[in-house]
């Protein structure tokens, strides 16, 4: 959502620039030059440009780069699921990194983690300790989601499905982690 705000601001600004005539542009440039000439602060224009660059770079580094990293980890987790060269532990680690790095989109990563855990539980080739580890991690993450958004029903549904599935498959998980 934050990148959409920036996108629409840039879109509105370019639309504004396109609608003006060259005469208006020239008049605005002259007015700005006159204002800057009257202010008599040496290098004011340089400070304004530096400030704008720092704001844009800071915004990009804080929000976009971390979000891109989190999305990249989530992509790797989804991409490597059918790959026999990557173990379930590797994929769970990608989910962990994705959730920890995410500025936004943390809930989507947790939902994908729940889907992956349910797939692991259905797979008879996966050892029980790996299944147990996946269920534990998923339950912990959904408890965090519920703490962050207690009114969001979807978190409760995913948590219930992850807790319920092992019992339907006659797979015993450690009961202390579910309480």
pLDDT tens digit sequence for 147-169: 999 998 999 999 988 888 876 55
Mean pLDDT across 23-37: 71
Q: What is the mean pLDDT of the chain?
A: 79
Q: CB of 160 within 8 A of CB of 117?
A: no
179 pLDDT higher than 60: no
Q: What DSSP string runs through 90-149?
A: HHHHHHHHHHHH-SS-HHHHHHHHHHHHHHHHH-TTS-HHHHHHHHHHHHHHHHHHHHH-
Higher pLDDT among residues 110 and 170, named by residue: 110
Q: Which residue has the tokens 């993450």?
A: 141
Mean pLDDT across 114-130: 87
Mean pLDDT across 17-22: 63
Give the per-residue pLDDT at 106.
Answer: 84
**pTM, whole model, 2 decimals?**
0.63
Rounded-to-integer distance, Cα 154 and Cα 44, Å: 52
27 pLDDT higher than 80: no
The residue among 144, 69, 152, 133 whose CA lies nearest residue 110 is: 144
The residue among 78, 137, 79, 74 whose CA lies nearest residue 103 is: 74
Mean pLDDT across 4-17: 72
Percent of the chain past pLDDT 90, that is, above it, reads 19
Give the per-residue pLDDT at 140.
Answer: 92
Give the per-residue pLDDT at 6.
Answer: 73
> Where in the chain are the domains?
70-178
């Amino acid at each position: 959502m934050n990148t959409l705000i920036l996108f629409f601001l840039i879109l509105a600004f370019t639309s504004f620039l396109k609608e003006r005539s060259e005469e208006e542009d020239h008049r605005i440039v002259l007015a700005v030059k006159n204002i800057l000439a009257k202010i008599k602060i040496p290098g004011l224009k340089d400070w304004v440009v530096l400030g704008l660059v720092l704001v844009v770079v800071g915004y990009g580094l804080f929000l976009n780069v971390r979000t891109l990293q989190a999305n990249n980890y989530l992509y790797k987790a989804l991409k490597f699921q059918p790959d026999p060269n990557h173990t379930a532990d590797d994929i769970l680690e990608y989910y962990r990194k994705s959730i920890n790095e995410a500025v936004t989109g943390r809930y989507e990563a947790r939902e994908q983690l729940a889907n992956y855990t349910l797939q692991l539980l259905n797979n008879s080739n996966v050892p029980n300790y790996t299944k147990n580890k996946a269920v534990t991690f998923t339950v912990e993450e959904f408890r965090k989601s519920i703490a962050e958004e207690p009114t969001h029903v979807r978190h409760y549904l995913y948590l219930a499905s992850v807790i319920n599935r092992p019992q339907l498959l006659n797979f015993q998980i450690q009961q202390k982690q579910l309480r």
